[in-house]
Amino acid sequence: MARQIVPMTDEALEKILRSALVAAGASKFWHVVAKLKNERVNPDRGKKMLFKWHVIRMAYQRQKGICSICRDDMALDRSKIEGDHFDPNLTEEQGLNKLDNCRAVHVKCNREKGSKTPSEVAKWKGKTLVEVLGDES
Ligand SMILES: [Zn+2]
């Protein structure tokens, strides 16, 4: 389940940085810049990001079989469903791969999300860009 990493264009990066500055204010700006750099250089930061099937199945039941991304029904089929991390910035000790950090989604929906920019993901998740990038300051 390797994530495909698409290099960011300078134009896209500038757009993100501008919206980050507006969303976060100057005080958090450099924190966000550091986060973005980290995302680009090493998206998974060497962490093991994988949900066990029983965790995905529990998330599936909690969502009543509805995909968190497209809101359509999902068949309980291991080849078509996977877990998506609410907060990919958690450590394993903080529960990176636990149920509380898992939402069940279609594999195809998650692949589409993988090609989105952070600001598009934020829009999709109904979160601010800063929330998506992780606000730890
Ligand atoms: Zn879906």
Contact yes or no for 56/110 (Cβ under 8 A): no
- pLDDT above 70 covers a percentage of the chain that reads 76
- pLDDT average, residue stretch 59-66: 97
First-to-last CA distance in the chain? 31
Q: What is the pLDDT of residues 75-90, one digit of tens each?
A: 999 999 999 988 888 8
Q: How far does residue 106's CA lie from ligand 1's centre (Å)? A: 4
Q: How far does residue 34's CA lie from ligand 1's centre (Å)? A: 31
pLDDT at 73 over 50: yes
Helix or strand or coil: residue 35? helix
| Domains of the chain by residue range | 10-133
Q: What is the C-alpha separation between 59 and 100, in angstroms, rounded?
A: 8
- pLDDT average, residue stretch 98-119: 86
Top-ranked range on mean pLDDT: pick from 46-55, 103-112, 113-122: 103-112
Helix or strand or coil: residue 47? coil
Q: How far does residue 109's CA lie from ligand 1's centre (Å)? A: 5
Lowest-pLDDT range of 24-28, 61-65, 70-74, 116-120: 24-28
CA distances from 21 to 17, 36, 49, 91, 110 (A): 6, 13, 29, 26, 28
